[in-house]
Amino acid sequence: MKTYIGVDLGGTNVRAAKVDEQGNLLQVVKQATEIDRGVDHVIQKIISMIESIDGYEQCVGIGMGVPGPVDTKNGKMMLASFLPGFEGYPLVKHFQDHFHMPVYMDNDVNVACMGEAMLGAGKEHDSVYYVTLSTGVGGALVIDRKVVSGAHGFAGEIGNVIIDRNREDISHLNVGAVENEASGTAITRKGKALFGEDQIAHAGDVFDLARRKDKRAVQLCSDATYDLAQLFSIIAHICDPEVFVLGGGLMKGKDVFLHALIDQFKQLIHEGMRAVEFKEAQLEEPGIVGAAMLVKAYEGRNV
């Protein structure tokens, strides 16, 4: 059975794993990223971690998931807010030169989508749109087991999609960007404004209040749900996927918003598009498994 190396590089931690074709994690190593010690230190750390994995030399290749947009043609991060120094660094070439095996890299949401498309909730579908609803809002499209990254690596940066320009200017994102209005961070911010800093620690506290029929919490969740329905309708009108796969921490509150989101979404799209399915992400480790599946997806392709 073929095996692959998956690397999940984050601003806080980095993990490397040996993964088989079914997505089983055969061996995992994890360390603190320590980006404050510089790019060279982090790269050498990842190399040492991979080399500590039993039989890494027999793996088909290495797949990497990183935070931020990626120039997949040249193997470089286009934006590295959480990994200063990595922007524009020829990361893929460096690992190819060292390990003498195929190396592929993409945005962490893209690789999670790849994992779900090949082995998870989207495996029976040819076109899968993955949306992560968490601290932020991110997305990725996989068609025929290939991630659509875009000309500059920014495809799927849906958090900046405007759902209402008549909103408050919150951050560097567009005014009315969905991430500023319906992400976990946004729901927490709005909850604190309504109920007080000491009452709301995270979006789950708002969901709990909504479950208890608190009118203000119900309205807040209702507003966020409609904002998300608009986002999904925009995505659907652009790429018309067979299935939406939803992941991220906000899905712990799916009982509060998901049914209404789907109903409202269907009212915002053409009738002939309403067969699209909504499924919850299935993989426990979509990031690291999806990174490994990048290698499997690209096997035999001229890239």
**Strand partners of residue 86:** none
pLDDT exceeds cutoff 50 at 105: yes
Average pLDDT, the chain: 95
What is the reported pLDDT for 301? 65
Residues 45 and 108 in one domain: yes
What is the reported pLDDT for 303? 45
Residue 81 contacts residue 25 (beta carbons within 8 Å): no
pLDDT exceeds cutoff 80 at 263: yes
Can you list the pairs that 91-95 forms with residues at least 24 positions away whose Cβ atoms lie under 8 Å? 91/43, 91/64, 91/66, 92/64, 94/43, 95/46, 95/47, 95/62, 95/64
Domain range spanning residue 78? 3-114+284-298
pLDDT digits (tens, 9 = 90+) for 122-162: 999 999 999 999 999 999 999 998 899 888 888 999 999 99
Residue 6 contacts residue 63 (beta carbons within 8 Å): yes
Reading across the β-sheet that carries 146-147, which strands appear in turn? Answer: 146-147, 137-143, 127-133, 243-247, 277-280
Residues 151 and 86 in one domain: no
pLDDT digits (tens, 9 = 90+) for 181-228: 999 999 999 999 999 999 999 999 999 999 999 999 999 999 999 999
Residues 187 and 93 in one domain: no
Domain count, the chain: 2
With respect to residue 53, please indicate whether it lies within any of the assigned structural domains: yes
Tokens matching residue 236? 């659907």
Lowest mean pLDDT among 202-206, 238-242, 256-260, 293-297: 293-297
Residues 144 and 180 in one domain: yes
Residues 234 and 294 in one domain: no
Residues 63 and 85 in one domain: yes
Residues 272 and 154 in one domain: yes
Lowest mean pLDDT among 118-122, 148-152, 166-170: 148-152
pLDDT exceeds cutoff 60 at 302: no
With respect to residue 303, please indicate whether it lies within any of the assigned structural domains: no
With respect to residue 66, please indicate whether it lies within any of the assigned structural domains: yes
Residues 55 and 8 in one domain: yes
With respect to residue 132, please indicate whether it lies within any of the assigned structural domains: yes
pTM over 0.85: yes
Residues 83 and 204 in one domain: no
**Strand partners of residue 228:** none
Residues 60 and 171 in one domain: no
Q: How far is residue 223 from each of residues 5, 175, 229, 259, measured CA to CA in Å?
A: 42, 16, 10, 14
**Distance (Å, whole) CA 222 – CA 215:** 10
Residues 68 and 175 in one domain: no
Residue 182 contacts residue 162 (beta carbons within 8 Å): no
| Domain CATH number, residue 213 | 3.30.420.40
